[in-house]
Amino acid sequence: MPTSVGPRIEILVSPKGETTTQVFGVEGGNCHALTAPYEALFGDVLSTSDTMEAYEDPHEIEIKTEQGDGS
């Protein structure tokens, strides 16, 4: 389990390489600015949502998968 508490970014990388980025413990409108450099490294957005409850409890993550351009 994470040993870090307080303001932090958590990035969950699924076995298929899909990423879910969350910000914990930071209020205000700068969350997107904090994660933007990381999200720019990854692919297209599948979904995004603002959450208040992320301060307390990580969510169950629903991972969507897509395969590459196999031929």
Partner 1 sequence: MSHTTKRKSAMKNLDALKAACERNQDATYVGAGSQRYGNRCKDPHEVQLKGWSNKVTVDVETGECYYDNYGGRWGKNEVLDGLQQDYAVAAASAQAQAEGHQVEELKLDDGSIKLVIPLGGDYETADGGGGSAGDWGV
Interacting residues with partner 1 (CB under 8 A): 1-4, 6-32, 34-35, 37-39, 41-52, 54-55, 59, 61, 63-64, 66-71
Q: How far is the CB of 4 from partner 1 (least distance, A)?
A: 5
Q: How far is the CB of 52 from partner 1 (least distance, A)?
A: 7
CB 58 within 8 A of CB 22: yes
Instruction: For residue 14, give every residue at least 6 positions away whose Cβ sits within 8 Å of its Cβ, in sequence order, or none.
Output: 20, 61, 63, 65
Q: How far is the CB of 60 from partner 1 (least distance, A)?
A: 11
Instruction: For residue 1, give every residue at least 6 positions away whose Cβ sits within 8 Å of its Cβ, in sequence order, or none.
Output: none
